[in-house]
């Protein structure tokens, strides 16, 4: 079992480069299935989730070559339109294969996707959206299969601006007959990235980044060469780590606009954040001030930066309130932070955090990816030694986390028990 051992108390200082975005590259890799030929994707992070997506693409028949951060996906010989249970279970993002496989074959068979334990996460809206494009679905013995003679464009109004649903419908609609409108669409930057990638393949999509997306179906897609956006959640994680350790850190390869909701909160907590071009400079300045935070769809405060911010608020001055509105069960890290001396009271979807002067090192367990990041930050800020178990979760979404922290002067070691 992998674990991190962290000796806290060091101020993070220096510069690091932020990697490509996990949540952008996963749907983009799934979307390569829509073309026949060799796609080149650049700035792809080495992550467990990317490995799983590569495994799925190979299973379908694609040839994949991953060198440095350049991933070549040759989709010419894809013949399989089914993702088996053992692969589906490995992560939530396997659900992104639905739209592309329907687009390519008019047929798909999948099982329930896996993912972090942050709530039930059904896929009913994905299915409802694809049904609107003329797909007929059948369920049995754990599988879901979809079939369509010809995908047809439609007007779709989402019940909620779900990120994955918006992306699956976009990927299902690009090769449909006629025009599809997605209203109440998710507006996350990763949706814009998917639009840009698909348009690079010859799709006709407009409006991503707003709540109305228009997709004019085209007959076929060609291959493309594309660089994914920087990871805004990795960016935010390091911003918070720098702030709570009283550090002085410059993050390179960022898009500051994508982390504006976090910058606003850090400014409110009296942390100095300066942005120039693709760089963000964070200067910690003693204890943060208490905050009220509610997670919301973009451009609201992101749920994927909620656990990390909870860590910061455990040692802020005053009482903070965090309300999680996106996932049913994403406050589990509170229990682990309490083991380190935090004072947190959880009631339903709300956590009330009474800031304490400092945390103390302890053995804690990451229950999911971002909870893991929150515990690593806690370890960096705490007095003494912290052991974080469940590193496998963290490796789903952070490339070279321990190397980047070490580069900033933090003391962290990855050990195998």
Ligand X SMILES: CC(=O)N[C@H]1[C@@H](OP(=O)(O)OP(=O)(O)OC[C@H]2O[C@@H](n3ccc(=O)[nH]c3=O)[C@H](O)[C@@H]2O)O[C@H](CO)[C@@H](O)[C@@H]1O
Ligand Y SMILES: C=C(OP(=O)(O)O)C(=O)O
Q: Write out the binding residues.
A: 22-23, 92, 304, 326
Q: How many residues bind ligand Y (CB under 6 A)?
A: 10
The residue within the footprint of ligand X, chosen from 111, 125, 197, 238 (CB under 6 A), is 125
Nearer to ligand Y, 43 or 188 (CB): 188
Question: Candidates 85-93, 95-103, 139-147, 333-341 — which segment interacts with ligand Y by CB under 6 A?
Answer: 85-93
Among ligand X, ligand Y, none, what does residue 60 contact (CB within 5–8 Å per kind)?
A: none
The answer to whether 23 contacts ligand X (rule: CB under 6 A) is: yes
Token representation of residue 170? 């976009």
Q: How far is the CB of 120 from ligand X (least distance, A)?
A: 6
Question: Candidates 88-96, 99-107, 133-141, 274-282 — which segment interacts with ligand Y by CB under 6 A?
Answer: 88-96
The residue within the footprint of ligand Y, chosen from 45, 230, 361, 397 (CB under 6 A), is 397
Q: What is residue 354's three-state secondary structure?
A: strand
Give the C-alpha separation, 233 to 47, whole Å: 14
- Distance of alpha carbon 226 from its chain centroid, rounded? 19
Nearer to ligand X, 74 or 304 (CB): 304
Question: Candidates 130-138, 158-166, 268-276, 351-359 — which segment interacts with ligand X by CB under 6 A?
Answer: 158-166
Nearer to ligand Y, 188 or 402 (CB): 188
Encode burial over 76-97: b for 16+ CB neighbours within 10 A, e otherwise: eebeebbbeeebbebbbbbbbb
The residue within the footprint of ligand Y, chosen from 27, 45, 100, 115 (CB under 6 A), is 115
The answer to whether 303 contacts ligand X (rule: CB under 6 A) is: yes
How far is CA 198 from each of CA 39, 105, 134, 145, 184, rounded to the nearest angstrom?
A: 11, 18, 21, 25, 20
Strand partners, 375: none
The answer to whether 92 contacts ligand Y (rule: CB under 6 A) is: yes
Nearer to ligand X, 116 or 266 (CB): 116
Give the C-alpha separation, 104 to 39, whole Å: 16
The answer to whether 333 contacts ligand Y (rule: CB under 6 A) is: no
Nearest 10 degrees: CA dihedral of 306, 310, 312, 316? 130
DSSP code string of 294-321: EB-STTSB-GGGHHHHHHHHHTSBSEEE
**For residue 284, which of 76, 39, 5, 10 has the smallest C-alpha distance?**
10
The answer to whether 92 contacts ligand X (rule: CB under 6 A) is: yes
The answer to whether 369 contacts ligand Y (rule: CB under 6 A) is: yes
The answer to whether 90 contacts ligand X (rule: CB under 6 A) is: no
Bridging pattern class, strands 363-365 and 385-389: parallel
Residue 116 bears catalytic tag: yes
* Residue 268 burial by Cβ neighbours in a 10 Å radius (0-12, 13-18, 19+): middle
DSSP code string of 230-276: B-HHHHHHHHHHHHHTT-EEEEES--GGGGHHHHHHHHHTT-EEEEE
The residue within the footprint of ligand Y, chosen from 187, 287, 370, 404 (CB under 6 A), is 370
Contact assessment for residue 371 and residue 364, using Cβ atoms and an 8 Å cutoff: no
Question: Candidates 10-18, 90-98, 144-152, 293-301 — which segment interacts with ligand Y by CB under 6 A?
Answer: 90-98
Question: Candidates 5-13, 71-79, 123-131, 275-283 — which segment interacts with ligand X by CB under 6 A?
Answer: 123-131
Please give the backbone phi and psi of residue 409, each rounded to the nearest 5 degrees, phi first.
90, 5
The answer to whether 404 contacts ligand Y (rule: CB under 6 A) is: no
- Encoded one letter per residue, x for contact with ligand X by CB under 6 A and - for no contact, window 177-206 reads ---------x---x----------------
Interacting residues of 140 by C-beta distance below 8 A, sequence separation 6+: none
Interface with ligand X in residues 220-239 (CB under 6 A):
none
DSSP code string of 97-108: GHHHHHHHHSEE
Interface with ligand X in residues 39-68 (CB under 6 A):
none
Q: How far is the CB of 36 from ligand Y (least distance, A)?
A: 27
Please give the backbone phi and psi of residue 161, each rounded to the nearest 5 degrees, phi first.
-70, 70
Q: Which of 12, 91, 116, 205 is catalytic?
A: 116
Nearer to ligand Y, 45 or 246 (CB): 45
The residue within the footprint of ligand X, chosen from 111, 197, 238, 327 (CB under 6 A), is 327
The answer to whether 405 contacts ligand X (rule: CB under 6 A) is: no
Which residue ranges make up the site for ligand X (CB under 6 A)?
23, 26, 92-93, 119, 121-126, 160, 162-165, 186, 190, 303-304, 326-327
Q: Could you list the active site residues?
A: 116
Which residue ranges make up the site for ligand Y (CB under 6 A)?
23, 91-93, 115-116, 304, 369-370, 397
């Amino acid at each position: 079992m992998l674990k991190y051992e962290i000796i806290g108390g060091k101020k993070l200082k220096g510069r690091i480069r932020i990697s490509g975005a996990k949540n952008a590259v996963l749907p983009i890799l799934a979307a390569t299935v829509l073309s026949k030929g060799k796609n080149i994707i650049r700035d792809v992070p080495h992550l467990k989730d990317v490995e799983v997506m590569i495994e799925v693409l190979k299973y379908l028949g694609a040839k994949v070559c991953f060198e440095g951060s350049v991933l070549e996906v040759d989709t010419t010989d894809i013949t399989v339109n089914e993702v088996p249970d053992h692969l589906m279970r490995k992560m939530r993002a396997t659900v992104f294969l639905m739209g592309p496989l329907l687009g390519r074959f008019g047929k798909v068979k999948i099982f329930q996707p896996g993912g972090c334990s942050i709530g039930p996460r059904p896929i009913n809206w994905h299915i409802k959206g694809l049904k609107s494009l003329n797909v007929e679905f059948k369920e049995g013995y754990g599988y879901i299969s979809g079939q369509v003679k010809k995908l047809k464009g439609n007007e779709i109004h989402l019940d909620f601006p779900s990120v994955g649903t918006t992306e699956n419908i976009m990927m299902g609609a690009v090769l449909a007959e006629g025009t599809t409108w997605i209203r109440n669409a998710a507006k996350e930057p990763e949706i814009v990235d998917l639009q840009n990638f698909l348009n690079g393949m010859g799709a006709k999509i407009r409006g991503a980044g707003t709540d109305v997306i228009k997709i004019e179906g085209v007959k076929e897609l060609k291959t493309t060469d594309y660089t994914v956006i920087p990871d805004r959640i990795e960016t935010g994680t390091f911003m918070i780590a720098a702030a709570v350790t009283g550090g002085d850190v410059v993050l390179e390869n960022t898009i500051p606009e994508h982390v504006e909701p976090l910058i606003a909160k850090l400014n409110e907590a009296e942390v100095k954040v300066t942005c120039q071009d693709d760089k963000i400079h964070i200067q910690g300045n003693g204890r943060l001030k208490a905050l009220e935070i509610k997670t919301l769809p973009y451009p609201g405060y992101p749920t994927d930066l909620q656990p990390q911010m909870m860590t910061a608020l455990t040692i802020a001055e005053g009482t903070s309130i965090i309300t999680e509105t996106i996932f049913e069960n994403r406050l589990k890290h509170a229990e682990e932070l309490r083991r380190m001396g935090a004072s947190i009271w959880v009631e339903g979807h709300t956590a009330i955090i009474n800031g304490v002067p400092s945390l103390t090192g302890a053995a804690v367990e990451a229950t999911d990816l971002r909870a893991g990041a929150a515990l690593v930050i806690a370890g960096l800020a705490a007095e003494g030694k912290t052991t974080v178990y469940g590193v496998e979760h963290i490796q789903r979404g952070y490339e070279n986390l321990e190397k980047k922290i070490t580069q900033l002067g933090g003391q962290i070691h990855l050990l195998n028990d």
